């Protein structure tokens, strides 16, 4: 992927939230050729944009159904219980029915917040991102950066 | 014990390495639960569809595959199955493809889609797709993305190695950041190699197997044994462990770099005692197992033998022991001694010397000297003189193997003079072939336990002199062993070692009386006489000296022309 800094991620995102991953469920796409995972996020902080409730659904390719699993590079799966900051856009091409959001920049748009409040990224390969991507910074500092962009 | 210490050190090193690994996250692997996601095979076949890619992309993609295949510490092969027209990227069809195309969305250079079993973690399908929204090249041009560079990274995902983001990972193929024109991911970092080796370790055939030992075993009589074991074809180093320490040798140093035949190392000097030795193997994959141990015992060593000296024009130089192999009392061998010191003729003769060592008496049956000029066979030199520094001419004694032998006591020398043969000996080699054995060593002693009672004798009368002898050595006394009687009397009368009798075959620890008859000379002056007894092997006095001072003082006879009473003493 092409590396996206916090400013670009913020500008490309309609919604940016902090929340806890409440439920993760994988299902086959409508054409049955791939696995799509949907995760429900309980929002604890809307950093940018608006949502209709305190829960939002995020979708990405990959996941596990029964005895089969799918890994897609540059996708960072969401895990139940994770505290995350997500850069999101409403999905326009969802391959399963429903009103869902995609993560902007694939895994680049996901930060996992550690117990000591550090925002970490993982699960992607980018071109030219080494100098612009914020990683391993405090969640509050990241949110401040986002707010300065808005 | 030392072996355990070595293993302990190895474990410590391993722990240190593990800490180091975790500290910098050397590599990361895909997980499902506690299972590693990986191929349950040592190879995977890829089909390549270069449509939409640069002209040389087929080669570039194969190069990326081969980069991983060529890791010797891993057992995994990417197989190029040929080209394909399939574009079913991401399908779980068991048909692994590399394609070029769109539809990946903005920002994605390439994607790796991997299907796996959640039951086992085993991968069942993996496809790679390069995004043709970007410009690709194969030469590392600064303005485009390099197919081999990104391809090698994506094949790392096929193995299920994950992206890395630390600045410490920046030179690794699995580093998650890259740039246009970048090519460094074409070459694997040691941590990339460790990653594939962790997931797909080379079979145990990568590590060398254990060596099998040959010798030494049992009882040996050398302090510097040569350790010999069968070569292990995959071993490049061997650790020889003996006597509390181990030393690593290259296979070349052990003479088995070919991986076949036997390896040999001559170890450091040992003292008498029992030992167990081991060999451990090693190659680039790591340490092989230790061999089974082999025990041996260094026995009490036979005494050394007289040395052979050669005249070099200015003096005599030592070529080492005349007998080069093992030897023991009364066991005779013909043995060669190659002359390694310069031999310089003088007055048309060649001079050698046999010199006895300090703790030995030897019995030399024969010594023949040979020479050969380049390309010729060995020929015997003509012995002109053989002069013993005490016994005089011993030439006949040394010429042939018979009962006419030459003896050498500590420090004795035999000068050997040979005629220079026709044609000269310039640049010639020399060797001796000798036979003989040592007669006595520091462990061979006899004790005079008793002498006969005081007696009164007259001139012309036969006096019987007695001595009870104890053999204190471990062997029967040899044929050359004799007890000598020495008589001292008034007026300077002396009969040193005139009378003797053989004590051959006297067994150890079984004292026996021996006697000689002395006819008192008619002119023997009247007075008190004493006699003593001593045991010799050849010309070496082996009487146990500590007894000399504790023998009884002889009774004095007052009769006219008295005979003798005894006291024993050493000579």
Tell me if B113 and A130 make a contact (CB, 8 A cut-off).
no
**Of A126-130, B6-10, B202-206, the least confident:** B6-10
Rounded to the nearest angstrom, the minimum Cα separation between A136 and chain B is: 10
Write down the pLDDT at residue B508: 76
Tell me if A125 and B178 make a contact (CB, 8 A cut-off).
yes
pLDDT at A91 over 60: yes
- What ipTM goes with this model? 0.88
Looking at chain B from residue 120 to 159, which residues have their Cβ under 8 Å from any Cβ of chain A?
124, 145, 153-154, 157
Write down the pLDDT at residue B25: 43
Look at phi and psi of residue A69 and say left if phi exceeds 0, alpha if psi is from -120 to 50, else beta.
Answer: beta
Q: What is the mean pLDDT of residues B77-106?
A: 91
pLDDT at B560 over 80: no
Write down the pLDDT at residue B568: 34
pLDDT at B482 over 70: yes
Tell me if B114 and A70 make a contact (CB, 8 A cut-off).
yes
Q: Of all helices (H) and strands (E), which one includes residue B77? A: strand B77-83
Write down the pLDDT at residue B440: 54
Question: A32 and chain B: CB distance < 8 Å anywhere?
Answer: no
**Of B194-198, B293-297, B395-399, B402-406, the least confident:** B402-406
Write down the pLDDT at residue B550: 30
Write down the pLDDT at residue B552: 35
Nearest CA in chain A to B181: A127
Tell me if B177 and A121 make a contact (CB, 8 A cut-off).
no
pLDDT digits (tens, 9 = 90+) for B346-356: 999 999 999 98
Chain A residues in contact with B154 by the CB 8 A cut-off are 73
**Which residues partner with B531 through β-bridges?**
B487, B566
pLDDT digits (tens, 9 = 90+) for B134-186: 899 999 999 899 999 999 999 999 999 998 878 888 899 998 887 889 999 99
Q: What integer best gives the mean pLDDT of chain B?
A: 81
**Closest partner CB to A68 (pick from B91, B111, B117):** B117
Tokens of B180: 């246009």
Chain A residues in contact with B155 by the CB 8 A cut-off are none
Rounded to the nearest angstrom, the minimum Cα separation between B82 and chain A is: 24
Write down the pLDDT at residue B314: 92
Question: B337 and chain A: CB distance < 8 Å anywhere?
Answer: no
Chain A residues in contact with B36 by the CB 8 A cut-off are none
Alpha carbons B157 and B162: distance in angstroms, whole number: 6
**Closest partner CB to B119 (pick from A33, A67, A122):** A67
Tell me if B109 and A70 make a contact (CB, 8 A cut-off).
no
Question: B162 and chain A: CB distance < 8 Å anywhere?
Answer: yes
Tell me if B163 and A123 make a contact (CB, 8 A cut-off).
yes
Write down the pLDDT at residue B488: 79
**Closest partner CB to A68 (pick from B37, B118, B145):** B118
pLDDT at B300 over 60: no
Does residue B179 contact residue B153 with C-beta atoms inside 8 Å? no
Question: A106 and chain B: CB distance < 8 Å anywhere?
Answer: yes
Rounded to the nearest angstrom, the minimum Cα separation between B210 and chain A is: 42
**Verdict on whether the full-model pTM lies above 0.90:** no
Write down the pLDDT at residue B565: 41
Chain A residues in contact with B176 by the CB 8 A cut-off are 124-126
Tell me if B37 and A71 make a contact (CB, 8 A cut-off).
yes
Tell me if A126 and B165 make a contact (CB, 8 A cut-off).
no
pLDDT digits (tens, 9 = 90+) for B382-426: 999 999 987 789 988 888 666 667 877 777 899 999 999 998 888
pLDDT at B203 over 60: yes
Q: What is the mean pLDDT of residues B243-249?
A: 88
Nearest CA in chain B to A105: B107
Distance set, CA B354 to CA B306, B316, B323 (Å) = 6, 10, 11
Alpha carbons B343 and A143: distance in angstroms, whole number: 96
**Closest partner CB to B115 (pick from A69, A121, A125):** A69
CA torsion, points B546, B551, B553, B554, in degrees to nearest 10?
-130
Write down the pLDDT at residue B566: 39
At residue B429 the predicted structure's pLDDT band, cuts being 50, 70 and 90, is: very high
Residue B484, Cα to own-chain centre: how many angstroms? Answer: 48
**Closest partner CB to B109 (pick from A33, A127, A135):** A127
Q: Of all helices (H) and strands (E), which one includes residue A110? A: strand A110-113
**Closest partner CB to B115 (pick from A4, A70, A130):** A70
Write down the pLDDT at residue B221: 67
Question: A130 and chain B: CB distance < 8 Å anywhere?
Answer: yes
Q: What is the mean pLDDT of residues B14-33?
A: 56
Nearest CA in chain B to A125: B176
Nearest CA in chain B to A134: B165
Tokens of B527: 């007075």
Write down the pLDDT at residue B15: 33
Tokens of B445: 């002693």
Nearest CA in chain A to B111: A73
Question: A93 and chain B: CB distance < 8 Å anywhere?
Answer: no
Say which residues have a Cβ less than 8 Å from residue B392's Cβ, sequence separation at least 6: none
**Closest partner CB to A3 (pick from B110, B170, B177):** B177
Tell me if A69 and B165 make a contact (CB, 8 A cut-off).
no
Write down the pLDDT at residue A63: 94
Instruction: Select, from the ranges A1-5, B7-11, B379-383, the one with the highest average predicted confidence (pLDDT).
Output: B379-383
Alpha carbons B92 and A63: distance in angstroms, whole number: 13
φ, ψ for residue A146, nearest 5 deg: -60, -45
b vs e for B324-344, b when ≥16 Cβ sit within 10 Å of the residue's Cβ?
A: beebebeeeeebebebebebe
Strand order in the sheet with B110-117: A63-65, A68-72, B110-117, B123-131, B96-101, B43-48, B77-83
The better pLDDT of the pair B412, B247 is held by: B247
Angle, helices B57-69 vs B147-159, to 10°: value is 40
Tell me if B115 and A129 make a contact (CB, 8 A cut-off).
no
> Would you call B324 helix, strand, or coil by DSSP?
coil
Rounded to the nearest angstrom, the minimum Cα separation between A39 and chain B is: 18
Interface A–B counts its CB contacts (< 8 A) at 95
pLDDT digits (tens, 9 = 90+) for B518-549: 888 877 777 777 788 888 887 777 776 443 33
pLDDT at B50 over 60: yes
pLDDT digits (tens, 9 = 90+) for B53-74: 999 999 999 999 999 999 888 8
The better pLDDT of the pair B564, B292 is held by: B292
Q: What is the mean pLDDT of residues A27-51?
A: 92
pLDDT at B368 over 70: yes
Tokens of A43: 């929002």
Write down the pLDDT at residue B22: 33
Nearest CA in chain B to A68: B117
Tokens of B41: 């095979």
């Amino acid at each position: 992927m092409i590396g996206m800094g916090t400013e670009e991620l913020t500008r490309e995102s309609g919604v940016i939230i902090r929340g806890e991953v409440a439920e993760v469920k994988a299902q086959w796409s409508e054409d049955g050729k791939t696995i799509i995972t949907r995760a429900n996020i309980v929002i604890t902080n809307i950093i940018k944009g608006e949502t209709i409730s305190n829960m939002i659904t995020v979708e990405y390719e990959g996941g596990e159904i029964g005895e089969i699993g799918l890994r897609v590079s540059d996708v960072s799966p969401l895990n139940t219980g994770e505290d995350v900051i997500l850069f999101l856009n409403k999905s326009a091409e969802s391959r399963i029915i429903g009103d869902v959001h995609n993560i902007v920049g694939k895994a680049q748009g996901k930060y996992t917040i550690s117990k000591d409040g550090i925002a970490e990224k993982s699960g992607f390969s980018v071109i030219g991102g080494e100098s612009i991507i914020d990683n391993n910074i405090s969640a509050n500092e990241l949110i401040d950066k986002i707010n300065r962009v808005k | 014990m030392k072996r355990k210490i070595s293993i302990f050190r190895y474990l410590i090193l391993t722990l240190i390495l593990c800490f180091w690994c975790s500290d910098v996250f050397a590599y990361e692997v895909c997980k499902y639960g506690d299972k590693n996601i990986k191929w349950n095979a040592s190879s995977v076949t890829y089909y390549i569809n270069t449509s939409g890619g640069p002209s040389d992309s087929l080669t570039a993609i194969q190069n990326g595959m081969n980069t991983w295949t060529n890791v010797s510490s891993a057992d995994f092969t990417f197989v190029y199955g040929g080209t394909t027209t399939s574009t079913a990227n991401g399908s779980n069809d068991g048909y692994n493809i590399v394609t070029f195309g769109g539809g990946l969305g903005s920002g994605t250079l390439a994607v790796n889609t991997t299907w796996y079993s959640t039951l086992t973690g085993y991968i069942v399908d993996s496809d790679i797709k390069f995004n043709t929204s970007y410009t690709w090249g194969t030469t590392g041009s600064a303005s485009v993305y390099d197919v081999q560079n990104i391809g090698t990274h994506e094949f790392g995902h096929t193995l299920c190695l994950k992206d890395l983001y630390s600045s410490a990972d920046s030179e690794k193929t699995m580093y998650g950041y890259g740039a246009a024109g970048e090519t460094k991911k074409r070459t694997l970092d040691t941590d990339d190699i460790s990653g594939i080796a962790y997931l797909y370790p080379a079979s145990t055939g990568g590590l060398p197997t254990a060596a099998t030992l040959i010798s030494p075993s049992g009882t040996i009589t050398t302090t510097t044994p040569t350790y010999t074991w069968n070569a292990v074809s995959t071993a490049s180093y061997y650790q020889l462990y003996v006597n509390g320490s181990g030393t690593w040798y290259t296979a070349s140093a052990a003479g088995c770099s070919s991986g076949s035949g036997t390896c040999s190392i001559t170890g450091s000097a040992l003292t008498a005692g029992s030992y167990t030795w081991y060999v451990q193997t090693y190659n680039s994959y790591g340490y092989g197992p230790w061999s089974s141990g082999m025990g041996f015992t260094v026995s009490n060593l036979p005494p050394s033998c007289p040395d052979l000296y050669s005249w070099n024009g200015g003096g005599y130089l030592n070529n080492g022991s005349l007998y080069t192999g093992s030897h023991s009392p009364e066991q005779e061998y013909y043995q060669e001694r190659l002359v390694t010191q310069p031999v310089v003729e003088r007055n048309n003769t060649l001079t050698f010397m046999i010199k006895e060592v300090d703790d030995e008496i030897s019995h030399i049956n024969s010594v023949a000297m040979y020479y050969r000029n380049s390309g010729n066979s060995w020929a015997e030199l003509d012995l002109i003189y053989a002069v013993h520094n005490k016994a005089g001419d011993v030439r006949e004694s040394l010429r042939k193997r018979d009962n006419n032998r030459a003896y050498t006591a500590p420090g004795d020398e035999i000068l050997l003079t040979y005629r220079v043969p026709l044609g000269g000996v310039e640049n010639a080699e020399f060797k001796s072939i000798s036979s003989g054995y040592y007669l006595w060593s520091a462990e061979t002693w006899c004790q005079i336990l008793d002498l006969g009672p005081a007696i009164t004798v007259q001139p012309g009368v036969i006096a019987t002199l007695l001595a009870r002898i104890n053999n204190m050595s471990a062997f029967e006394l040899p044929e050359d062993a004799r007890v000598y009687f020495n008589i001292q009397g008034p007026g300077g009368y002396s009969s040193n070692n005139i009378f003797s009798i053989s004590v051959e075959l006297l067994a150890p620890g079984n004292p026996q009386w021996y006697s000689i008859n002395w006819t008192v000379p008619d002119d023997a002056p009247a007075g008190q006489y004493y006699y003593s007894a001593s045991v010799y092997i050849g010309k070496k006095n082996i009487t146990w000296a500590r007894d000399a001072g504790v023998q009884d003082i002889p009774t004095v006879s007052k009769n006219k022309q008295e005979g003798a009473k005894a006291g024993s003493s050493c000579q």
